[in-house]
Structure 1
Amino acid sequence: MGTNRVTDTAIDEVGIHQITTKDEEDSPGDVENSSASVAEDVVDWKGEDDPEKPMNWSKARKAKNIIVICYCSFLTPLGSTMFAPAISQVMQEFQSNSAPLASFVISSWILGYFFGPLFLGPLSELYGRQPVYLVCNFLYSVFNVATALAPSLSSLIVFRFLAGTFGGCPFTLGAGTFGDTIKPENRGMVIAMWSIGSLLGPILGPIGGGYLGENSGWRWNCWVLAIAAGVGAIATVIFQEETYPVVLLERKAAKLRKETGNANLKSVYADLERKPAQVFARSIVRPLKLLFFSPIVATLSVYQGVMYGVLYLLFTTYPLVFESRYHFSTGSIGLTYLGAGIGSFISLVVTGTMADQTYRKQTELGRWKAEWRLFPVIFLSFSVPVGLFWYGWSAQTGTHWILPILGTGFIGLGMNTIMMCIATYLIDAHPLYEASAAAALTAVRSLIGCLVPLFGRSMYAALGLGWGNSLLGFIALAMCPLPWVFFTYGERVRTNPRFQLKM
């Protein structure tokens, strides 16, 4: 059985590499058994500065793609909590008084985030990112319409699950899209803008949902979201482009074959195993490998998942706290989410700016490593337990309503920093497998985010607001050393041959 050996390479002005290979038998000295040289024309980028390469697109061209993704990334979590202030209306209409079921109506949306990456990621490898964005944003709109027309509680849960599944597309593919288009020195602020949607969406959703549900009924929450999702779907058609290099180069090769009549032209990625069964198996197994065999991915996924679960637990219990203790109306309850929103916005500005400045400074000094992405978390992660203790005991003792809301501001500050920095770190630490790392992160985060709120009200009923939130605060405090551990030892761990996975 022979092997191919590259003997000559050249590049022309359209990015065609002419590669001559020679088959060498197991006994290379036997000239009579050697086959003739074979010439192959491989289509690649014309160079690192090729303007067709997504990373070299103009700022305007990149911006229109990024804005659409950020908009859709904001809409999905927006829908996850728009129900929260009006959940009592939903349960009353469908004649149910089950507290766990009421929580599951909200968190079933998040459960969809767990299953979506299992097939959306592989589909994007097969057909490109743009078709998956198009189909998912359209189906997201459809299932929001279905929730507005839901005839029963069970159908409402199913439709919300499906809306979350397809609405999670920007989270599943976003890391890959930004890896395609954004250079590392500018990635921090872009990731900050993207990740803020996952926090501001759940925060702003209840504000609009509270007043809308109070004045027009809970179904109008679904109709408004469906209209906004339809705008996103139309924007995807008009503004988004394909960014996946594998698909772009295959299209380029097909075009050149047609123009030149050279049937031997093929993409530099043509030899990749891209049969559907292989792609799905690889895309499902790879995140699981990272999750179970990479200490960094596993630990940080659980860390972010716990924080996400705590966030959604707080969101589902805000109506309980501010309606029963402070006698807020359904509409006014939505405004209580602004504390976490302001904290998240502060994090966006401070951490996003710091990330890019740190990259440039450490690169100039020759000390850059991916772990610098975690540097802001070392300090700001402590604001989460501080905020939980503050929020819990100020609400427990019945102080003025502004004090627990100020506590949630600290929670938002720390939460957004953790979410943003971990996402950016995993992209930089796994440049070849950023989509798989993001899938593992999203799956764990979503599963925990779905399950934790189910026992939230029972926990508060047993422990009270003070000790209930203190329990969450102690868990968050116990996890605060993790960013420092990975900042200090992360590079040593991820470069250790024991943890170099064969993907």
Structure 2
Amino acid sequence: MAASIPEKSSVNEETQMQDVEKQSDISTEPTTALDPNLIGWDEPEDKDPANPQNWSSGKKWLNVGILSFITFLTPLASSMFAPGVPIVLEEFGSTSSTDATFVVSIFVLGFGIGPLIFGPLSEIYGRLPVYHICNLFFILFTVLCGVAQNMDTLLAVRFFAGCFGVAVITCGGGSIADMMPPQERGGAMAIWSVGPILGPVIGPVTGGFLIDALGWRWVFWLLTILSGTITVIAFVGLSETYAPVLLARKAARLRKETGNTELQSNLATDQSKKAVFATAIVRPMKLLVCCPIVTLMAVYISIAYGLLYILFTTFTFVFDDVYNFGPSTAGLSFLGAGIGSLAGMFYVGVLSDRHLKKIIASGRKPTPEDRLPLFLTVPGSLSLPAGLFIYGWSTNYAVHWIVPEIGTAVTGYGMMVLVMCIQVYLVDAFSIHAASVIAANAVLRSVLGALLPLCALDMYEKLGLGWGNSLLAFIAVALAPVPWIFGWWGERLRTNPKYQLNL
């Protein structure tokens, strides 16, 4: 994982611990190698305009903005027609409680499959081809959702829409790591991270009114229009950011201009494309299974995400039964979680980078664990169960609807803080393979986000809203110390030679 050829060539002369420290260095920019046939960034590296980290602020934020809108749009599709699920079930003649939740959450199950393919592909062929191809297929399957004539077809095309829609969610963190230095990364990750949380919240709000006015199929026509528009903008405005691909193109151009066939990127590998693909395609699962940091963080955030999706997939039914909300007003029940998520985004986005800049100003080199300070992780970890307790018992006793909304806002705040802290931590710890580590995290998170809600309505029926949500809150309490522990002792585990992987 070393970032330059001089480091690679001297690896046999260094100790294993030094090699481990290089692998976990949050700076992974390539440097120009001593061998004149190895091509890197022009010297000085911090001035080379071809290096994405040296792009103008305008160009960087244009790319972040486009990626952020797509990461908002695809999760929006996951739940936008949730308020219309009872209408869909009636139209297709289904009375299954499993269908009622699965038709929403199967989209998220697709989120669990796509990262295994698109994350590694982005580290072979670059981010841009993956984005463009997946955006086009997402549009196709969204259209097919709109014309579905039975529940089986709707479930199938929703699954594939999720598979292709997850590309930017999987690779966007890698693109941000490509462009942004660590001390500026938190704010960009905050904007990008809000989509997967806020999309499923805003979707039902707008979807409820749209379904009331035009019917549930118009949800997919609106998504097609929005996704088609941003896809055109992406073709024009997005730029490739992945350093190995950019340097490979530079080497190819110089070979053509100079006639020197020996020129190659200093990040090039001697492996064939087939071998590179075989290595890359198993990398997310290798990280998930064999790297304790990725495993434990993924388990934690996945369970938290699953708990949140239990709420998202049942809001319509709970607020209909308890407060007699119709399709449009049931959509408004998602606003509490949205407001809380925005609060969490601003809290982490501002304080995380400010904390890192203070460390740099003090003369200490920051580590990935500096992304997990207690003033961020403690409020996030405790807000998640606190909100679940408030929501559960207030709905159980039919307290005024504003009280459960406050509960969902607290839960949304905690969820956003946790997602952002953990994702930025993993990106900083595995910068050169950021897309793969985000993919590993997304796989388990999406699977649990899709499957846990399947038992939600049955759980509420047997335990009630009070004890049912309390059970979820107790699980969140038990997991709360996980990010605190990694903030204290994560570096020891991360730099332990026993857990280093050949990625």
Per the normalisation by structure 1, the TM-score is: 0.91
1:282 is matched by which residue type in structure 2? T
Name the counterpart of 2:344. Answer: 347
Q: Do 1:297 and 1:426's aligned partners in 2 also have CA atoms closer than 8 Å?
A: yes
2:167 matches 1:188: no
1:274 and 1:233 mapped to 2: Cα distance?
32
**Which moves more between the two structures, 359-368 or 471-480?**
359-368
Q: Deviations over 1:475-502 (max 9, x none)?
A: 0011111111111111111111111112
1:131 and 1:496 mapped to 2: Cα distance?
36
Please, which of 199, 204, 213 is the counterpart of residue 215 of structure 1?
Answer: 213
1:93 and 1:446 mapped to 2: Cα distance?
28
Q: Do 1:118 and 1:283's aligned partners in 2 also have CA atoms closer than 8 Å?
A: no
Pair 1:388–1:272, CA change in 2 (3 A): farther
Q: Deviations over 1:307-342 (max 9, x none)?
A: 111111101111111111101111011111111111
Q: Do 1:122 and 1:279's aligned partners in 2 also have CA atoms closer than 8 Å?
A: no
1:354 and 1:18 mapped to 2: Cα distance?
40
Name the counterpart of 1:251. Answer: 249
- In the TM superposition, what is the alpha-carbon distance from 1:103 to its structure 2 partner? 1.1
Q: Do 1:193 and 1:348's aligned partners in 2 also have CA atoms closer than 8 Å?
A: yes
Name the counterpart of 2:230. Answer: 232
Q: Do 2:187 and 2:350's aligned partners in 1 also have CA atoms closer than 8 Å?
A: yes
- In the TM superposition, what is the alpha-carbon distance from 1:348 to its structure 2 partner? 1.1
Q: Do 1:119 and 1:280's aligned partners in 2 also have CA atoms closer than 8 Å?
A: no
Name the counterpart of 2:41. Answer: 45
- In the TM superposition, what is the alpha-carbon distance from 1:280 to its structure 2 partner? 3.0
- In the TM superposition, what is the alpha-carbon distance from 1:184 to its structure 2 partner? 0.3
Pair 1:168–1:354, CA change in 2 (3 A): same
2:39 is matched by which residue type in structure 1? V
1:272 and 1:168 mapped to 2: Cα distance?
31
Please, which of 147, 172, 181 is the counterpart of residue 145 of structure 2?
Answer: 147
Q: Do 1:318 and 1:333's aligned partners in 2 also have CA atoms closer than 8 Å?
A: yes
1:460 and 1:480 mapped to 2: Cα distance?
23
Structure-to-structure mapping, 1:101-180, within 5 angstroms: 101-180=99-178
1:246 is matched by which residue type in structure 2? P
Name the counterpart of 1:293. Answer: 290
* Number of aligned residue pairs: 471
1:368 and 1:466 mapped to 2: Cα distance?
43
Identity of aligned residues (%): 45
Name the counterpart of 1:495. Answer: 495
1:443 is matched by which residue type in structure 2? V
Pair 1:74–1:243, CA change in 2 (3 A): same
Pair 1:16–1:412, CA change in 2 (3 A): closer
Q: Deviations over 1:372-425 (max 9, x none)?
A: 212211232101111000000001011111111011110011000011110000
Runs of at least 4 residues off by over 3 Å = 15-18
1:107 and 1:278 mapped to 2: Cα distance?
35
Name the counterpart of 2:456. Answer: 456
2:349 is matched by which residue type in structure 1? G
- In the TM superposition, what is the alpha-carbon distance from 1:5 to its structure 2 partner? 8.0
1:262 and 1:280 mapped to 2: Cα distance?
27
2:438 matches 1:438: yes
2:98 is matched by which residue type in structure 1? P
- In the TM superposition, what is the alpha-carbon distance from 1:52 to its structure 2 partner? 0.8
Q: Do 1:129 and 1:244's aligned partners in 2 also have CA atoms closer than 8 Å?
A: yes
SS of corresponding position for 1:270: coil
Pair 1:211–1:272, CA change in 2 (3 A): farther
Name the counterpart of 1:304. Answer: 301
- Tell which structure's C-alpha radius of gyration is larger: 1
1:5 and 1:106 mapped to 2: Cα distance?
51
Q: CA RMSD in A?
A: 1.6
2:270 and 2:207 mapped to 1: Cα distance?
47
Name the counterpart of 2:395. Answer: 395
1:270 and 1:337 mapped to 2: Cα distance?
48
2:340 and 2:481 mapped to 1: Cα distance?
21
Q: Do 1:16 and 1:41's aligned partners in 2 also have CA atoms closer than 8 Å?
A: no
1:191 is matched by which residue type in structure 2? M
1:487 is matched by which residue type in structure 2? G
Q: Do 2:123 and 2:435's aligned partners in 1 also have CA atoms closer than 8 Å?
A: no
Q: Do 2:122 and 2:435's aligned partners in 1 also have CA atoms closer than 8 Å?
A: no
Q: Which has the higher contact order (CA 8 A, sep 6+)?
A: 2
**Which moves more between the two structures, 120-129 or 409-418?**
120-129
Pair 1:5–1:204, CA change in 2 (3 A): closer
Q: Do 1:107 and 1:451's aligned partners in 2 also have CA atoms closer than 8 Å?
A: yes
1:325 and 1:271 mapped to 2: Cα distance?
61
In structure 1, runs of 5+ residues without a counterpart are 7-14, 20-39
Name the counterpart of 2:25. Answer: none
- In the TM superposition, what is the alpha-carbon distance from 1:274 to its structure 2 partner? 4.7
1:91 and 1:441 mapped to 2: Cα distance?
32
- In the TM superposition, what is the alpha-carbon distance from 1:16 to its structure 2 partner? 7.3
1:437 is matched by which residue type in structure 2? V
1:46 is matched by which residue type in structure 2? D
2:376 matches 1:369: no
Q: Deviations over 1:226-263 (max 9, x none)?
A: 11110111011110011111111111111112222222
In structure 2, runs of 5+ residues without a counterpart are 1-7, 11-30
- In the TM superposition, what is the alpha-carbon distance from 1:17 to its structure 2 partner? 5.3
Per the normalisation by structure 2, the TM-score is: 0.91
2:346 and 2:395 mapped to 1: Cα distance?
29
2:192 is matched by which residue type in structure 1? W
2:449 and 2:34 mapped to 1: Cα distance?
51
Q: Deviations over 1:42-67 (max 9, x none)?
A: 22111321111011100111111111
SS of corresponding position for 2:38: strand
